[in-house]
Structure 1
């Protein structure tokens, strides 16, 4: 593969998306010269240390932090982001890669400032999930973004298909999320005889945690096989879910912000990750499960069907169907009881090996970047 000489990239990542870019940016810096700008008040530590520690040995990768204070919705943010984007333009680059949604003042600052022919936008939610936070607002600005920019990175095949069907003539990179690694898998500290179903990540309406709670309680009433439900994630309206719980002893609740150094423990003690979403663009949580070789139970929406082979690396259930979710969880329990769980784990490992090798993901980026 021939690399164009002196190709350089300015890469912008908001602090909350560090885990998305943490593996791919240093890997791509073996091929390209990258200046990595992290937007945030401070360096968010990762499971492997600070970004500077990770990147300091890579001569072609430089990093800096850029802070933009204030509420995102205030009008003065337009001027702050315009100043930031002007700074980005001033840096030598062939490509400007931005891993952030352009909403409200950020969108207007970007649209009026950035050279669109060299900007690539990572679009995590081309199709805004139903029930997402500020759903209609976000959908409006995504439509404006798609209409007024040219180069987009999508992280799933279904989002690529949706984008191509929605608007013509865009230059699209499809490359999946890299596996999210929060440190080595640890020895299990909880009773392995009790099957642990894990729900992990920010709790939003479209993720249908209510389905999980109700299905688990129905299963608890029907079987004597021991299991528990761990729900870990931040939620601004947990009270409505708490009211659904009839059997508190069935649930291990960790409601609140989950620190990076807690994630490995959560997955090391989990047997299955449960994702009962009614809609989504793509799931970051599933890539954490893949990293720790945890089989998944997901709804059968199209976004999950490209990741889950029913019965081979997890289970699919009919979306929004409590009884079908209950049945999938029962199948999972029986796998543990019949000592067939490890077969599912090995199948999941093979799926990850075939589809999520960092080198093959990076090659997709490289081929796309070489066209600029």
Structure 2
């Protein structure tokens, strides 16, 4: 089967780990949109990865900012490229491109198209939320075959569109390369990783770390990721710089394994969640999770197996789970990592995820 897989560099870390398996069974044409700002990969990096896995690579450069109507010319070329490929099936992710979604709504046949949605509902504080929602609903209404990456999002979408064919398939784990050799330390290392946005709750984590540092010094919090308001919002919260290590800015893909090798726990103190990219990296590198007790996390985190959940409405909830992690013995922590490895092997194997995609592709081809 020939599959045209349309995405953006923002999702390429997940895409490649899926496509390298699908390319063993299908001809994959990977169309990738490179934004004018904030592309997570260069063309050369993705060209190299696609070459390794026998994936046909089609780079698509956006010359203008996302809401610039001059992008319509580029998106028209995208649709022509899809038609010219004569693919049996189009799989496209929704990335809130209003102009592209509008053109898909009016120009693209719905018969053999699957649309994947990472966020059926926008996160709190999403910029231009009205336009993002409008763009999503164009695709919800147009296409018969839809996919989500969690059961929580799947249920939301089914409630809105009960007559659609909706599939739920989890993300593949994110692999950024081998773990480097790092000398172990006696400090417990907590990691906050990824784009720093209000809904991710870093402010609460930093306030909690301030309290912990008043009575303990045998821990460290690493903060690594991009922020548009670090100096104004987050840096003023630092009271104990001796327990903090900050790397504010774009994190190169080659740097990611080191952060997750150093980390004893990945901390996700989110206020709301659909699914988490950093969690997929942590599971690949066998790093336990500490996260807010939200429905979107409960689906993927098993208590005292793959990590620990805390009550986000309790001001002491995060403090307690962090302190317990600091106090956990080496033997208890080693046993936790063993349980995590078994959990991931059972629940998130590449083979099971790829099998679900193949079943979805077969269903769509049969019923289109």
Provide TM-score, normalisation by structure 1.
0.91
Partner of 2:227: 235
Alignment CA distance shift 1:92-1:264 (3 Å): same
Instruction: Tell me the secondary structure at the aligned position of residue 356 of structure 2.
Output: helix
Residue among 241, 255, 259 paired with 1:262: 255
**What do residues 109-130 of structure 1 show as CA deviations (whole Å, max 9, x unaligned)?**
2212211222211211112111
- Segments ≥4 residues shifted beyond 4 Å: none
Judge conservation of contact 2:102–2:138 (CA < 8 Å) in 1: no
The more displaced of 103-112 and 20-29 is: 103-112
Post-superposition Cα deviations, 1:198-233, rounded to whole Å, max 9, x if no partner, equal 000001110010110011111222x33511111100
- Do 1:81 and 1:110's aligned partners in 2 also have CA atoms closer than 8 Å? no
Offset at 1:43?
9.8
Q: CA deviation at 1:244?
A: 1.4
Which of 84, 87, 95 aligns to 1:90? It is 84
Q: Aligned equivalents of 2:147 and 2:91: distance in 1?
A: 9
Distance in 2 of aligned mates of 1:327 and 1:248: 21
Instruction: Indicate whether 1:135 and 2:129 are aligned.
Output: yes
Distance 2:20 2:313 in 1: 40
1:102/1:135 CA distance change after superposition, 3 Å: closer
Separation in 2, partners of 1:349, 1:338: 17
Runs of 5+ in structure 2 lacking a partner? Answer: none
2:95 is paired with a residue whose SS is: coil
Pairing of 1:208-223 with structure 2 (within 5 A):
208-221=201-214, 223=215
* Alignment CA distance shift 1:57-1:304 (3 Å): closer
Cα RMSD after superposing both structures: 2.0
1:120 maps to 2:114:
yes
Given candidates 347, 351, 357, the residue that maps to 1:359 is 351
1:225-304 pair list within 5 angstroms: 225-238=217-230, 239-304=232-297
Q: Which of 304, 318, 325 is residue 332 of structure 1 equivalent to? A: 325
Please tell me whether residue 76 in structure 1 is matched to residue 59 in structure 2: no
- What are the superposed Cα offsets for residues 278-337 of structure 1, whole Å, 9 maximum, x if unpaired? 1121101100000000000000000000111222221100124331000010111111x4
The residue aligned with 1:224 is 216
Shift, 1:52, TM fit: 4.0
> What is aligned with 1:4?
none
The 2-side partners of 1:135 and 1:148 are apart by 20
How far apart are the structure 1 equivalents of 2:339 and 2:131? Answer: 41
1:167 partnered with 2:182 = no
Is contact 1:102–1:145 with CA below 8 Å preserved after alignment? Answer: no
Choose 353-362 or 320-329, whichever is displaced more: 320-329
Partner-residue secondary structure (3-state), 2:327: helix
| d(CA) in 2 for partners of 1:310, 1:225 | 26
Which runs of 5 or more residues in structure 1 are unaligned?
1-6
> Equivalent residue of 1:369, what SS?
helix
Q: Distance in 1 between matches of 2:349 and 2:252?
A: 26
Deviates more, 1:193-202 or 1:167-176: 167-176
Return the offset for 1:353.
Answer: 0.2
Residue 340 of structure 2 corresponds to 348
CA offsets per residue over residues 247-295 of structure 1, 9 Å max, x none? Answer: 1222111111111011011011110000000112110110000000000
Query: Given the alignment, which residue of 172, 175, 182 partners 1:178?
Result: 172
CA change 1:241–1:50 in 2 (3 A) is closer
Contact 1:15 1:39 in 2 (8 A): yes
Tell me which of 184, 187, 191 is aligned to 2:181. 187
